[in-house]
Amino acid sequence: MAENQRLICESIELPESGKGIRFTILFEGEETAAFVVRSGGQVHAYLNRCAHVPVELDWMEGEFFDDSGVYLICSTHGAMYAPDNGICVNGPCAGKSLQKLTVLESEGKIYYMKHEDRYV
């Protein structure tokens, strides 16, 4: 494993539009919640922080998708985010976006990739 990557989970643990996996990173020196989900066959990861008020999105651990399985939804005021780019498409922070993180899926495993010094 390269120095700039960290194992999050096995690919099989992340079903399409299903429960996400929470993990933490050091963001600007602080331990910060993050999550990864699968949508459209791809894995996408974000800081677990709503663009409206900086609270975590999931009130039930790992439940990030709305009932349709199409959008990520904030459990506090219902902001809806596109899972592929994190842009808020509906709700109090429309036009803003989640902070995307870099992840890599390779040989049945999903890795967090450190891509900037402020994200570790």
Q: Taken in order 28, 10, 37, 85, is the CA torsion positive or negative?
A: positive
If one asks whether residue 115 binds ligand FES (CB under 6 A), the answer comes out as no
For every residue of 23-64, DSSP letters joined together read: EEEEETTEEEEEEEEEETTEEEEEES--SSSS--S-SSTT--
92 binds ligand FES per the rule CB under 6 A: yes
Q: Is 53 in the site for ligand FES (CB under 6 A)?
A: yes
Query: Does 99 interact with ligand FES (rule: CB under 6 A)?
Result: no
Q: Return the residue of 6, 22, 52, 109 that touches ligand FES, per CB under 6 A.
A: 52
How many chain residues are in contact with ligand FES, going by CB under 6 A? Answer: 11
CB of 52 to ligand FES, least distance (A): 3
